[in-house]
Copies of this chain bind each other. A is one copy, B any other.
Amino acid sequence: MKKTGKRTYCLETPVTVRGWSAVVGKTEKSGPLGEWFDHFHTDEYLGKKSFEEAESELQKEAVDLVKKRSEISEKDIDFVFAGDLENQCAGANYCMRHYDIPYFGLYGACSTYAEALILSCMSIDGGFANNTLALSSSHNCTAERQYRFPLEYGALRPQTAQWTVTGAGATVLSLRYDASKPRISRFSVGRVVDYGVKDMNNMGAAMAPAAADTLLTFWEDTNTRPEEYDVVVTGDLGKVGHDLMRILVREKFPDFTNTYDCGRMIYDRTEQDVHSGGSGAGCSAAVINGYFFPSLMKRTYNKILFVGTGALMNTTRIQQKETIPAIAHLVEIEAGEI
């Protein structure tokens, strides 16, 4: 078996990241990473009749763009692994009507994109696919009214709350070796961790222990240390969760500083009214595809760890006074050899 330690897997041959795309909304375009995204929309409806239709369209644009970039046709994509935050993952389901590609629907909340990368790698390395598509999205307006309140209420949010990213990211992963492209050789699969946080406006605190758990497991499993990576980037813990995660990791690695968080990176918290930072299944998907893959191409980074984190509650459970379970999946991504 390809397993190392408790929850980490090493591929015999690295899977190549063949192409990537990131499409976002206007708030994300106005943020510090704005110039990195491939395409943006000022209209939250994307010209559609509903925010929900708009979210599926965001995914579709990301798919069409990554297909073109990767110079791959629909028939050469063996599987799509996709999901989003809409009830019953409707964003991805309705997007996938447009394509004749075998489809696995996933739900991992904001960890969905990392989950899709891992299952892509497993299906390619296992001999079931030559090319796969990993895809996820979120839309601020679909998420706010589904998880919190109708936008029209203008409800106030506490400082620990995160701002759901309007964005989609798509990646084509491939068996075919390309020495210039980023690649994935190792990953760790998350388990459900619940530290008893009940505040749906503080998902960062709920997810931080899961992120720390998976990171510490990976370093133990692989006998590596944080400083061997240019950066350890978490999915979307936001400021509150990211600070908490660092405290937890520093119990084992006191010098741990080389870490970013997609939720912190995507917005300028001093200029933009996003409180603790970004979140949503489109957050890490947009940041990894928009910023990190291109930066790995440019050799700004040579080796990173990406930890997608997800808060696994729903509104009904929170109304029932339940706590928030969380999960974190980890992927090691390296720059190409040339």
Q: Which residues of A contact B (CB under 8 A)?
A: 1-3, 7, 9, 49-50, 52-53, 78-79, 83, 85-90, 93-94, 96-97, 99-109, 115, 118-119, 122-123, 125-130, 146, 189-192, 194, 310, 312-317, 320, 322, 325, 327
Contact = CB atoms under 8 A, between A and B. Distances in A.
The quantity of this chain's copies bound in the complex is 2
Nearest to A327: B103
A130 to B, nearest CB: 6
A175 to B, nearest CB: 8
B79 A189 contact: yes
Given A49-B320, A52-B316, A316-B86, A325 B122 contact: no
Contacts of A104: 106, 108, 115, 118-119, 189
B325 A1 contact: no
For the complex of A and B, the 4 pairs showing the least CB-CB separation, nearest first, are A126-B126, A102-B189, A93-B312, A88-B314
B313 A192 contact: no
A282 to B, nearest CB: 16
A128 B94 contact: no
A128 B3 contact: yes
Given A104-B115, A128-B3, A316 B90 contact: yes
Nearest to A312: B93
A326 B207 CA distance: 32
Contacts of A50: 320
B126 A107 contact: no
A192 B107 contact: no
Contact of A312 (B9, B90, B190): B90
B314 A97 contact: no
A190 B99 CA distance: 12
A322 B93 CA distance: 12
Contacts of A146: 316
A128 B314 contact: no
A93 B325 contact: yes
